[in-house]
Structure 1
């Protein structure tokens, strides 16, 4: 029997349920910050969608799953199924509406720290 779409939907907080402290906590972990940066390579629009396996992290698959779940539950990313793949996208519009400039500042800072020859 095929799985229904509703059964494959993951819970996400509504925009009005997203809290600053939760977003900051989610992005305070280096691996989760790396995920957010990978999902929004140039700070344009909603960013690109990517499956969990397309984001290269030096941790076990179960830890990768944990990091994506924390980001989803904080309201930083949206996860949806496309076939059997779970696609992840930043919730840039929601975050920019709630906290203008926050995501840009965090991701720009993260990129600067990873550029060669740039002091943290």
Structure 2
């Protein structure tokens, strides 16, 4: 699996990745954890192929890092890279998503 180098991560790609409610759900879950999570942990109300697509978008945009551990594909948020490149962005987006959910505006 290819991952962009830190210096190749672009703001518009990250914002695109975060613009989808299902991908935001994945990012929010990963942000709450300090360990890697397998794809099977995420209970998304979409097909398996669509879930795979969303994980690929997040990986290719530089939001997550994926690695195989045996047969499981593990995921971790690239928080350090994103914070270094775009200070405060991830925390702001996560806080806004939490506020939106509290208003009943969460579509994912």
TM-score (norm: length of structure 1): 0.83
Structure 1 residues 88-103: aligned runs within 5 Å: 88-103=75-90
**Higher relative helix content:** 2
Q: Which of 1 and 2 has greater Rg?
A: 1
**Helix, strand or coil for the counterpart of 2:43?**
coil
Q: Which runs of 5+ in 1 are unaligned?
A: 1-9
CA RMSD of superposed structures (Å): 1.3
**Which of 20, 24, 37 is the equivalent residue of 1:33?**
24
- Corresponding residue for residue 19 of structure 1: 10
4+ residue segments displaced more than 6 Å: none
Q: Which runs of 5+ in 2 are unaligned?
A: none
C-alpha distance in structure 2 between counterparts of 1:49 and 1:34, whole Å: 16
